[in-house]
Copies of this chain bind each other. A is one copy, B any other.
């Protein structure tokens, strides 16, 4: 018998299911998975298909990684920090408070050993990870009252999850876990005093500016949060090499595409929010410093208990020190000059 032609073997028909942690209404984040799927399909003449399902269609959003790990689906698109309760190392795959910004995340993952370190960990979870999207630095969120001092944080009921919530709790904030759709009424009724979400484009759609006037920045708990494609490890290992390469390139392309999409959409949304009365407020240095001290305390606690977290954390930290030395020279002074022109109406 004749051997099957190599070309046919190398492009088998495969259909995978990808469960997203996000609803379709978060179209930019949800869209990164669809962008990835589209690149994969087009690059393989439709032979490798990835069907994307919104949160809840197959499993709830916060069970996406479990579904991929268990093989219920072949892969998911999620934010790995959702699973930090299982192991805080998951948080380092997306963002930790006062962590890396967008460019630094890419540099660390692609060149600084980040992909290798995180995949050592993901392998213990039966997963293979590819970075696939970023929101950029998020906003600090919506507050019903001005927050000027650390004392103003005491007793504040704020919708904030994950490690940011754990850290800000040390300063007296009472963190609340509330699903996206339930935030607006809670803020309207005063059940909560503040909420964080993403940034202008997504926040505008939920209308938070109508029930909380003050829009704070920066969202120090998410300086450059990464979205993750997490693939069931056996499914990844069994993929033809060319399909691995296609999926890898597709995730890289979708990663950059999502950031560009937010960078294009956020300015107009910000203008509209301000036109509708949003009051922009920077967090004070006092507040940022107190939060930073609380974060450092938290990392010391976790490092003492979890050697895997410590190993990955220290790699990120070492790069961050160098990266912020370099970033403050030409990139920062170029941007600063352009921002001065923008404020002076000269751009």
Give which listed residue, B11, B280, B328, B338, contacts A7 with CB less than 8 A.
B11
Q: What's the dominant secondary structure at chain A's contact region? A: helix
CB distance from A253 to the nearest CB of B (A): 4
Give the number of chain A interface residues (Cβ < 8 Å): 91
> Which of B259, B282, B288 lies in contact with A106, CB distance below 8 A?
B259
The answer to whether B325 touches A271, judged by C-beta atoms less than 8 angstroms apart, is yes
Within 216-247 of A, Cβ neighbours of B (below 8 Å) are at 217-220, 223, 241-242, 245-246
Decide: A334 near B101, CB < 8 A? Known: A264-B112, A271-B325, A339-B327.
yes
Closest to A46 in B: B242
What B residues does A136 contact at CB under 8 A?
103, 330-331
Does any Cβ of B come within 8 Å of A310's Cβ? no
Contact: A329 with B217, CB < 8 Å? yes
Question: Contacting A139 at CB < 8 Å: which of B45, B257, B285, B330?
Answer: B330
Within 8 Å by CB of A323, from B106, B253, B267, B282, lies B267
Report the bound CA distance from A11 to B7 in whole Å: 7
Closest B residue, CB atoms, query A323 = B267
Q: CA–CA, A11 to B43, complex, Å?
A: 10
Residues of B within 8 A of A288 (CB): 337
Hey, what's the 0/1 contact readout for A254-295 against B, CB within 8 Å counting as 1? 011101110111111011000000001011010010001000
Residues in B with CB closer than 8 Å to A217 are 329-330, 333-334
Q: Which residues of B have CB within 8 Å of A259? A: 103, 106-107
- A138 part of interface (Cβ distance < 8 Å): yes
**A47 close to B (CB within 8 Å):** yes
With an 8 A cutoff between CB atoms, is A53 at the interface?
A: no
Instruction: Tell me whether A242 and B42 are in contact in the complex, defined as CB-CB below 8 angstroms, given that A98-B338, A331-B136 are known contacts.
Output: yes
User: What is the bound-complex CA distance between A332 and B137, given in angstroms?
Assistant: 9
Q: Which residues of B contact A109 (CB under 8 A)?
A: 260
A2 on interface, CB distance cutoff 8 Å: no
User: How distant is the Cα of A261 from the Cα of B334 in the complex, in angstroms?
Assistant: 20
What are 23 A-B pairs at a CB distance below 8 A?
A: A39-B249, A43-B43, A43-B245, A101-B331, A107-B259, A107-B263, A217-B330, A217-B334, A218-B337, A223-B334, A248-B253, A252-B252, A268-B322, A270-B325, A320-B347, A321-B347, A324-B335, A324-B339, A324-B347, A325-B342, A327-B335, A328-B339, A328-B342
Which residues of A approach B to under 8 Å, CB–CB?
5-8, 10-11, 39, 42-45, 47, 98, 101-104, 106-112, 136-140, 199-200, 217-220, 223, 241-242, 245-246, 248-250, 252-253, 255-257, 259-261, 263-268, 270-271, 280, 282-283, 285, 288, 292, 317, 319-335, 337-339, 341-343, 346-347
The 8 A-B pairs with the shortest beta carbon distances in the complex, nearest first, are A42-B245, A267-B322, A111-B264, A218-B334, A107-B263, A252-B253, A217-B330, A267-B326
